[in-house]
Amino acid sequence: MRKPFIAGNWKMNKTPSEARELVNKLKEITGNRTDVDMAVCPNDVSLQGVVEELASTNIKVGAQNMHWKESGAYTGETAPGMLADLGIEYIIIGHSERRQIFNETDQDVNRKVKSALQYDLKPIICVGESLAEREAGKTKETVTFQVKAALAGVRSEDIEKVTIAYEPIWAIGTGESASAEQAADTINKIRKIIAELAPGKESEVRIQYGGSVKPHNIEEFMSKPDIDGALVGGASLEAESFAGVIENASK
Ligand X SMILES: O=C[C@H](O)COP(=O)(O)O
Residues that bind ligand X (CB under 6 A): 9, 95, 167, 172-173, 210-213, 231-235
Output the CA torsion sign for 34, 37, 38, 43: positive
Q: Judged by CB, which is closer to ligand X: 61, or 198?
A: 61
- Identity of the residue, 173 or 225, whose beta carbon is nearer to ligand X in the bound complex: 173
Q: Nearest to residue 133, comparing CAs of 160, 164, 96, 89?
A: 96
Binding residues for substrate: 9-11, 173, 212, 233-234
> Which one of the listed residues 53, 129, 133, 167 is annotated catalytic?
167
Quote the least distance from Cβ 174 to ligand X, whole Å. Answer: 7
| Minimum distance from residue 233 beta carbon to ligand X (Å) | 2
First to last CA, the chain: 16
Q: Pick between residue 198 and residue 246 the one whose CB is nearest to ligand X.
A: 246
DSSP 177-218: PPPHHHHHHHHHHHHHHHHHHSTTGGGTSEEEEESS--TTTH
* Residue 11 or 114 with smaller CB distance to ligand X: 11
Dump strand ranges (E) for the chain: 5-9, 37-41, 59-63, 90-93, 122-127, 163-166, 206-210, 229-232
For the bound state, the minimum distance from the C-beta of residue 200 to ligand X, rounded and expressed in Å, comes to: 29
CB of 2 to ligand X, least distance (A): 20
Respond yes or no: is residue 167 known to be catalytic. yes
User: Is 95 part of the annotated catalytic residue set?
Assistant: yes
* Contact call for residues 213 and 221 (beta carbons, < 8 A): yes
Find residue 171's DSSP bridge partners: none
Sign of the CA dihedral 153, 159, 161, 162? positive
The CB-nearest residue to ligand X is: 233
Catalytic pick among 53, 67, 95, 97? 95
Q: Which residues are catalytic?
A: 95, 167
